[in-house]
Structure 1
Amino acid sequence: MVNSIILEVLNEVFKPLGFRKKSANWYRVSGDLYCVVAVQESRWGESCYVNVGFAPVVNVKAGWLPESKCLVRFRVDALTSISREGLDLLSGQAAEVGGEDDLRVGLVEKIATPVAQAVNPIESIQDLKSLLCTSVSDQVFIHREIRGELLEEG
């Protein structure tokens, strides 16, 4: 149940920002960067994960690139704006405790909106570098192809 509700909530938040939906993914090209937000079902129970990926536009063929192929990837729990309470909403128990309406409201406020606020303004490597330095913990995969550019000082 959490998976279907988070898919609906992400669609409501990301569609107006120009993201297109493909299965359980929302993606767009903005400026020099491609961004994708993907929902991944957990292998253990009813919970799910929300992942974010970025790649330079030149790496994207036919307008689509899965999160797993992006050069920068992280789970939303790496975003400093996402609380432990918000992450708990992605678990299978969340719907049982508060009901579907409360779950929906919580997912909008504590997951979808903070993720959208983090990724929406990112249009360049410099924007991404700033996001990684100010709003993301160190739990980020950065491919060696882009690592030097993102990690250099200044």
Structure 2
Amino acid sequence: MFNSILLKALNEVFKPLGFRKKSANWYRVSGDLYCVVGVQESRWDESCYVNVGFAPAVNAKAGWLPESKCLVRFRVDAITSISREGLDLLSGQAAETSGQDDLRVDLVEKIATPVAQAVNPIESIEDLKSLLKTSVSDQVFIHREIRVELLEEG
């Protein structure tokens, strides 16, 4: 049940921004970059993870690339604008204490919207470099193929 509420919340925010949905993922090419936002269910409990991935647009030849194949990847808990309260909503326990509509509204406000605000304007390597410096913690996987370009000063 929780997973379906989270998917509805993300869809409500990402569809109007031009993201396409595939299973539990929203993806698009914007400018020179491909972006994907995906929901991953925990193996151990009812919680979910929301993962973000970026890759050069040329890597997404068929228009789709899973987050695990992206050159830059992180979980939404690395986005500094997402509060602890927002992250607690992903635990799955929030579904037990809130009604479905209230939970969906909270997920839109505290998870989906901040993620969209972070990733929506990213269209180039320079935009991504800025995002990583200003709005994302150090908990980011950056593939060696793109690491030097993203981490260089200037």
Q: TM-score, normalised by structure 1?
A: 0.98
The 5 A counterparts of 1:8-23 are: 8-23=8-23
Alignment gaps of 5+ in structure 2: none
Q: Distance in 2 between matches of 1:153 and 1:79?
A: 21
Range that drifts further, 40-49 or 97-106: 97-106
Q: Percent identity?
A: 90
The 5 A counterparts of 1:21-100 are: 21-100=21-100
Task: Say if 1:80 and 1:137, in contact at 8 Å, map to a contact too.
Answer: yes
Could you say what secondary structure the match of 1:146 adopts?
helix
Please state if 1:127 is matched with 2:127: yes
Divergent runs of 4+, >6 A: none
Task: Say if 1:33 and 1:56, in contact at 8 Å, map to a contact too.
Answer: yes
1:74-125 deviation line (CA, Å, top 9, x unaligned)? 0000000111100110112101112212211110000000000000000000
Q: Distance in 1 between matches of 2:5 and 2:134?
A: 30
Could you say what secondary structure the match of 1:53 adopts?
strand
The 5 A counterparts of 1:97-112 are: 97-112=97-112
Task: Say if 1:88 and 1:94, in contact at 8 Å, map to a contact too.
Answer: yes
Q: Distance in 1 between matches of 2:105 and 2:9?
A: 9
Task: Say if 1:32 and 1:125, in contact at 8 Å, map to a contact too.
Answer: yes
1:116-142 deviation line (CA, Å, top 9, x unaligned)? 000000000000000000000000000
When the two chains are superposed, the root-mean-square deviation of aligned CA atoms in Å is 0.6
Task: Say if 1:2 and 1:91, in contact at 8 Å, map to a contact too.
Answer: no
Q: Distance in 1 between matches of 2:6 and 2:92?
A: 12
Q: Distance in 1 between matches of 2:148 and 2:142?
A: 9
Q: TM-score, normalised by structure 2?
A: 0.98
Alignment gaps of 5+ in structure 1: none
Q: Distance in 1 between matches of 2:135 and 2:92?
A: 27
- Which residue identity does 2:118 align to in structure 1? A
- Which residue identity does 1:124 align to in structure 2? S
Could you tell me which residue of structure 2 aligns to residue 4 of structure 1?
A: 4
Deviation at 1:44, TM superposition (A): 1.2
Could you say what secondary structure the match of 1:65 adopts?
coil
Aligned residues: 154
Q: Distance in 1 between matches of 2:16 and 2:101?
A: 22
